[in-house]
Structure formats: C-alpha cells, structure tokens
C-alpha cells in the first residue's frame, strides 16, 4: 500500500493518461432513486463522468477532487453539457474549509424544495477513515436539513484480489463496520448490498459495497 499523501501524484498522472467517457453503473443506479431535481455534491469526482451525467439529467451539481488534472478533464466534459448547473472545484477533503465551501455552495444550500445528495463513488476507499469521519461531520453540520448519502466502495473482501491499476492507497472497508458508523450518526440505511459484478473494469471485478442512507435533518 502506498502512502495516502503520496497518492495525489498517482491520481494526477492517472487522469493525464485515462479517459472515462461514460458514467458508472452506480451513477445509473443512484439516478433512478433521486428526486428531480436534486442538489448533488460529489466528492472525489475524478474525471467528472458521473457528475456530468447527473447534470445532464437536470440535477444541480457541485463536485470536488484534489486532482487538478482530473478537474480539468471534468470541466471539459461540462463545457458541452446541456442540463442542470454544474461546478467543479479543485479541493482537498482533508481541508475543512474546502468541504464547507462545497456543502454551503449557494446551489446546494439555497435549494428551496430541492433535496440534497452526497455522492461518493470509489472515493471512501481512497481516503483514510479520519477523512471519512471529517466528511460526514462537515456534511451533517452544513447540510442540516438532511441529505441522502450514496456511496460505492471496495470492501475488505476485495483486499487480496488482483487489481487492474496496480499499487496505490486503498482502504478496504468492512461493509457492516461502515453501516454501524452510519447508524451511530443517526442515518437510516435505505439500501445496502455487497458483492461482485457491480462495476467490472478491464479484467477486474472488484468486491464492492453500495449504500444509500438518509441523514437526519437537524433543523
Ligand atoms: C478511485 S478515484 C474515483 C474517481 C471517481 N469518483 C470515479 O468513480 O471514477 C478516487 C479519487 O479520489 C480523489 N481523492 C483522493 N483523496 C482526496 C482528497 N483528500 N480530497 C479530494 N479528492 C481526493 C482522487 O484524486 C481520485 O480522483
């Protein structure tokens, strides 16, 4: 496993050499469960294919990644989009001010009747648990009207399996531990599944967990 801090260089290089022209199967799964339109915050948006997909459907999207190369690609995708408003930010989820800026973005906060979703695909396993905790703390503080969390991540059962993209930082998350952390925060879990076949990539079929959970309103 490589060091989490050094991993920024991995992603910078990755987005210079990889293209993801299509949205993920998780994005399609989540889209079918969102009210129209939703204010959607994506963290770890990478090349922006899922954010662009949600905006094309008419959702209002604010997305952040710490990779400038990823966000450059994401912004290029958004240029040709007709749909809901979309904004990409280069920012680090370990920086509380960066998190607060996306969660308090006017398009997220001044949503009127629009519900809010926090979308994280292949992101929670790319950050340490302390970062996961900081993200959920900030979201529950700033999105005090409640929100839906949609997460897809690699489980502990994926740890020993072969990987298409070689060695870099990955935190393999035990599904029931994550579910317990959400319940301890007051989330109601609406959907929880884990298994193979959810998002095959090249010759890899990762063992993944999908969670949809509702954070309680605090105001
Ligand atoms: C496995 S990629 C997933 C990208 C995209 N969500 C997808 O499904 O294709 C993980 C992403 O998390 C980003 N990332 C890792 N740590 C981060 C942090 N602390 N703050 C913001 N982004 C981070 C990386 O730059 C990378 O784009």
- Render pLDDT for 55-97 as a digit per residue (tens, 0 to 9): 999 999 999 999 999 999 999 999 888 898 999 999 999 999 9
Task: Give the pLDDT score at 131.
Answer: 98
pLDDT at residue 148 tops 70? yes
The verdict on residue 36 lying in a domain is yes
The verdict on residue 64 lying in a domain is yes
The verdict on residue 1 lying in a domain is no
Contact yes or no for 51/88 (Cβ under 8 A): yes
Distance 219 CA to ligand 1 centre (A): 31
Distance 111 CA to ligand 1 centre (A): 26
The verdict on residue 2 lying in a domain is no
Residue nearest to atom 12 of ligand 1 (CA): 44
The verdict on residue 89 lying in a domain is yes
Q: Is 97 exposed, middle or buried (0-12, 13-18, 19+ CB in 10 A)?
A: exposed
Say how far apart CA 29 and CA 212 lie, in whole Å.
Answer: 10
Residue nearest to atom 3 of ligand 1 (CA): 122
Instruction: Please report which confidence band the pLDDT of residue 111 belongs to, taking 50, 70 and 90 as the band edges.
Output: low
Task: Give the pLDDT score at 3.
Answer: 85
Element (H or E) spanning 140, and its range? helix 129-142
**218 or 164: which carries more pLDDT confidence?**
164
Whole-number average pLDDT of the chain: 94
As a whole-number percent, the residues of the chain with pLDDT over 70 amount to: 97
Distance 45 CA to ligand 1 centre (A): 6
The domain tally of the chain equals 1
108: nearest Cα among 100, 118, 116, 97: 116
Q: Which atom of ligand 1 is nearest to the CA of 45?
A: 6
**148 or 2: which carries more pLDDT confidence?**
148
**36 or 113: which carries more pLDDT confidence?**
36
Any atom of ligand 1 within 6 Å of the Cβ of 102: no
The verdict on residue 80 lying in a domain is yes
Distance 174 CA to ligand 1 centre (A): 19
Task: Give the pLDDT score at 112.
Answer: 60
Task: Give the pLDDT score at 24.
Answer: 97
CATH number for the domain that contains residue 121? 3.40.50.150
Any atom of ligand 1 within 6 Å of the Cβ of 94: yes
pLDDT at residue 210 tops 70? yes
Sheet strands (E) in the chain: 39-43, 60-65, 86-90, 116-121, 147-154, 188-195, 208-215
Any atom of ligand 1 within 6 Å of the Cβ of 30: no
Q: Domain limits at 86?
A: 7-215
Any atom of ligand 1 within 6 Å of the Cβ of 24: yes
pLDDT at residue 105 tops 70? yes
Element (H or E) spanning 99, and its range? helix 96-103
Say how far apart CA 24 and CA 101 lie, in whole Å.
Answer: 26
| pLDDT (mean) for 158-175 | 92
The verdict on residue 93 lying in a domain is yes
Q: Which atom of ligand 1 is nearest to the CA of 15?
A: 27
The verdict on residue 11 lying in a domain is yes
> Cβ contacts of residue 106 below 8 Å, gap of 6+?
none
Burial 160-182 (b: 16+ CB within 10 A, else e): eeeeeeeebbbbbbebeebbeeb
Task: Give the pLDDT score at 2.
Answer: 64
Say how far apart CA 102 and CA 106 lie, in whole Å.
Answer: 9
Q: Which mutation among 3, 123, 154 tests ligand 1's pocket best, with the greatest number of atoms within 8 A of CB?
A: 123
């Amino acid at each position: 496993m490589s060091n989490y801090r050094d991993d920024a260089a991995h992603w910078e290089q990755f987005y210079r050499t990889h293209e993801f022209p299509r949205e993920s199967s998780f994005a399609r799964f989540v889209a079918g469960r969102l009210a129209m339109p939703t204010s959607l915050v994506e963290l770890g948006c990478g090349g922006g294919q899922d954010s662009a997909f949600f905006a094309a459907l008419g959702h209002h999207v604010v997305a952040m990644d710490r990779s400038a190369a990823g966000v450059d690609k994401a912004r290029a995708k958004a240029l040709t989009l007709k749909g809901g408003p979309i904004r990409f930010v280069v920012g680090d989820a370990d920086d509380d001010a960066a998190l607060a800026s996306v969660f308090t973005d006017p398009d997220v906060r001044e949503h009127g009747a629009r519900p809010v979703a926090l979308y994280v695909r292949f992101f929670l396993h790319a950050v340490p648990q302390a970062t996961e905790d900081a993200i959920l703390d900030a979201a529950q503080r700033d999105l005090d009207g409640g929100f839906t969390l949609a997460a897809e991540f690699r489980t502990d059962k994926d740890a020993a399996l072969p990987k298409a993209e070689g060695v870099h930082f990955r935190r393999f998350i035990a599904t029931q531990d994550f579910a317990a952390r959400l319940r301890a925060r007051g989330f109601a879990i609406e959907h929880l599944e884990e298994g193979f076949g959810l998002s095959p990539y090249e010759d890899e079929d990762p063992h993944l967990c999908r969670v949809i959970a509702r954070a309680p309103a605090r105001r």
